[in-house]
Amino acid sequence: MSLTVVGSMAFDDIETPFGKSGRIVGGSATYIAWAASNFVKPINQVSVIGGDFPKEELDALGAKGVAFDGVQVKKDEKSFYWAGKYHMDMNTRDTLTTELNVLGEFQPVIPDSYQGSEFLILGNLTPQVQMSVIKQMKTRPKLIVMDTMNFWMEVALDDLKKVLKEVDVLLVNDAEARQLTGEVSLVKAARTILTTMGPKYLIIKKGEHGALLFHENHVFFAPALPLEEVFDPTGAGDTFAGGFIGHLAKTKDISFENMKTAIIVGSAMASFCVERFGVSRMREITHEDISNRLEQFVQLVNFDIDLI
Ligand code: AMP
- The string of pLDDT tens digits covering residues 85-134 is 999 888 889 999 999 999 999 999 999 999 999 999 999 999 999 999 99
Atom of ligand 1 nearest to the CA of 241: 3
Taking residues 68-84, what's their average pLDDT? Answer: 98
Pairing of strands 80-86, 19-26: unpaired
CA-CA-CA-CA torsion sign (177, 208, 155, 138): negative
| Residue 308 binned pLDDT confidence (cut-offs 50, 70, 90) | confident
Q: pLDDT digit string (tens) for 6-58?
A: 999 999 999 999 899 999 999 999 999 999 999 999 999 999 999 999 999 99
The protein residue with its alpha carbon nearest to ligand 1, atom 9, reads: 27
**pLDDT for 66:** 98
Atom of ligand 1 nearest to the CA of 81: 12
Distance 13 CA to ligand 1 centre (A): 11
How far CA 292 is from CA of 191, 247, 285, 286, 295, in Å, comes to: 35, 16, 11, 10, 5
Which of 138, 131, 135, 132 has its CA nearest to residue 117? 138
> Distance between CA 252 and CA 143 in Å, rounded?
10
State whether the beta carbon of 10 lies less than 6 angstroms from ligand 1.
yes
* One-letter amino acid for residue 68 of the chain: F
> How many residues does the structure list for the chain?
308
Quote the percentage of the chain above a pLDDT of 90.
92
CA-CA-CA-CA torsion sign (54, 43, 283, 24): positive
**pLDDT for 262:** 98
**pLDDT for 279:** 97
Look up residue 102 and give its DSSP letter: G
Q: pLDDT digit string (tens) for 228-271?
A: 888 899 999 999 999 999 999 999 999 999 999 999 999 999 99
Look up residue 283 and give its DSSP letter: H
Distance 7 CA to ligand 1 centre (A): 9
**pLDDT for 302:** 87
**pLDDT for 22:** 96
| Residue 307 binned pLDDT confidence (cut-offs 50, 70, 90) | confident
